[in-house]
């Protein structure tokens, strides 16, 4: 809860900062050529700053989220544990980093151009022939809000395999669900996966069928099948005395 509270506080600060940026309407008192002559060189540096900031903050945020995940999810009592992977945190960090980079660019440009900042942003919008500042501002609000929500949900997502039971906590769960090994009905390996568009792709995965009709798959959430899945299901097969069934495609 402390970690999630911290993320919420940071998110509120970032969104309030974004919403605090105000941009004047174009009064067309200056020509586009005039604005270009004044701002074009520094505009390139501002653009360069933006594209440097995104990977920089993405790297920092990914490392921070991985560390936070290690702190939140205890692995001490687990033989195996499945939790969000590096790719998941990288994707969410990129979303967050876009918004943070926009804040950096807005702040730096306003500092560099000072009283001429409003004219620079008018030039910026004219250059892209749209209200680019508003698009960046509100797109960043959406990305920061969305990534923060997904981060909070992913921090609460894991499946543990210990000596006595399987413990599952999915994104929207408020509490862990524990299954004893005798509550597992069958273990299945599928050779192919049906994509959301209905096409069949070569993506082998496993599934655990529990006695309450709940099915957990190694592709659930943002996870991709991992080499350790074979070890995990061998462990499950030994624990449950169930043979891993083989099917080509999962039938709904």
215 neighbors 208 (Cβ within 8 angstroms):
yes
pLDDT the model gives residue 186: 94
Length of the chain: 252
- The residues, any chain, with a CB within 8 Å of residue 87's CB and separated by 6 or more, are 222, 224
Instruction: For tokens 């709940």, name the residue.
Output: 214
Helix (H, G, I), strand (E, B) or coil at 242: coil
Determine the Cα–Cα distance for residues 170 and 34; give it in Å rounded to an integer: 57
Q: Which domains does the chain have, with CATH numbers?
A: 2-154 (no CATH), 161-249 (2.30.29)
pTM score, whole prediction: 0.83
pLDDT of residue 1: 66
Question: What is the per-residue pLDDT for 156?
Answer: 81
Antiparallel, parallel or unpaired: β 177-180 and 184-194: unpaired
pLDDT in tens, the chain (252 residues): 677 888 999 999 999 999 999 998 998 999 999 999 999 999 999 999 999 999 999 999 999 998 888 887 766 678 888 888 888 899 999 999 999 999 999 999 999 999 999 999 999 999 999 999 999 999 999 999 999 999 998 888 888 999 989 999 887 777 788 999 999 999 999 988 887 787 888 888 899 999 999 999 888 765 665 768 899 999 999 999 999 999 988 876
């Amino acid at each position: 809860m402390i970690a999630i509270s911290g993320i919420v506080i940071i998110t509120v600060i970032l969104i309030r900062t974004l919403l605090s940026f105000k941009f004047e309407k174009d009064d067309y008192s200056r020509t586009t050529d005039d604005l270009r002559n004044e701002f074009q060189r520094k505009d390139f540096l501002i653009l360069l700053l933006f594209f440097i900031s995104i990977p920089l903050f993405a790297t920092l945020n990914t490392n921070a989220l991985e560390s936070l995940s290690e702190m939140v999810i205890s692995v001490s009592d687990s033989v195996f544990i499945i939790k969000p992977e590096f790719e998941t945190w990288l994707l969410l960090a990129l979303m967050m980093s876009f918004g943070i980079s926009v804040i950096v660019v807005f702040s730096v440009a306003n500092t560099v151009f000072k009283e001429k900042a409003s004219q620079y942003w008018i030039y910026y919008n004219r250059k892209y022939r749209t209200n680019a500042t508003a698009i960046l501002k509100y797109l960043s609000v959406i990305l920061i809000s969305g990534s923060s929500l997904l981060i909070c949900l992913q921090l609460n997502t894991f499946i543990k395999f210990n000596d006595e039971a399987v413990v599952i906590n999915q994104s929207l769960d408020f509490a862990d669900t524990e299954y004893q090994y005798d509550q597992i009905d069958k273990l299945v390996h599928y050779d192919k996966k049906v994509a959301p568009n209905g096409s069949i792709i070569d993506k082998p995965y496993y599934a655990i069928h529990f006695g309450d009709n709940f099915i957990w798959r190694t592709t659930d959430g943002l996870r991709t099948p991992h080499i350790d899945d074979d070890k995990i299901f061998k462990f499950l097969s030994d624990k449950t005395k169930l043979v891993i069934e083989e099917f080509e495609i999962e039938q709904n």
